[in-house]
Structure 1
């Protein structure tokens, strides 16, 4: 994260100058080698070969040293490549981490949305259940009311019938009494 970013800022210019050094060394060793070959060619043509050969040996050592430097350079180049690779990997990791964070965010959003949907569904179900219970209660009340009305109606009918019967009985008794009296 933050630390890696700072590190990269610090290291990037170092790597650049490192690369520069390597290139300069390479150039120098190649120039030196060319110079040596020129000198060596000239020395071979010198009449007295002994000092020339001594000098040649010294130059040979120098060339060897330059070759060592070249090998060293190669190692440095490889190290530099490794560094660059590592940095690329760090960069990739950061990209990966960013992508993962995005995924987590999306996932959290999805979960939140799902939770909201579930909550809404539950609320809807509760409301429906409540409405259903209310409807049943009203039905019960209505049926109770109509039963009560029916019962009242029956009572009324029975009372009316009773009244009628009483009246009829009274009429019969009256007639009977009248007939009895007439006899």
Structure 2
């Protein structure tokens, strides 16, 4: 009987030591890995080049700023990053809108603003309640094949040789996260 009690006590101590712990991840060597910034969890669903001549990609390029053509000079490309964000905390939190792509030479690229009234796939942060997700369920961005909201970048083609490209997810007052983009 004493042996059983000692064994039971040992198991209880072991299980207590393996309690629920929340680890914060801020570095991802590939897309698909969850990273944490300012209490929210971000995941890149996909990143890829966009072709203005492609039927699907034309829709992603809707809502460009006035005067910006979908057709770029030969030394530039459109690059899309589709993001998913979830609030696992118990308090409402606002996702960031600060993203930067950096190549190994230190060239930096910020998102091209897209009009969310014209482009239903655009990443447009809203205050997320507990367990709420961006893109909003049942939206075009959430229901589409990628299941993420589009963040659009305009890159120099020379940066494609300076890989890995890294996406920084930044939020004022919080530690940023960094994800290697799959090209």
Say whether the fold is shared (TM-score over 0.5). Answer: no
* Larger RCO (CA within 8 A; separation ≥ 6): 2
Structure number with higher strand proportion: 2
Query: If you compute each CA radius of gyration, which structure gives the higher value, 1 or 2?
Result: 1
TM-score between both structures, scaled by the size of structure 1: 0.21
Structure number with higher helix proportion: 1
TM-score between both structures, scaled by the size of structure 2: 0.21
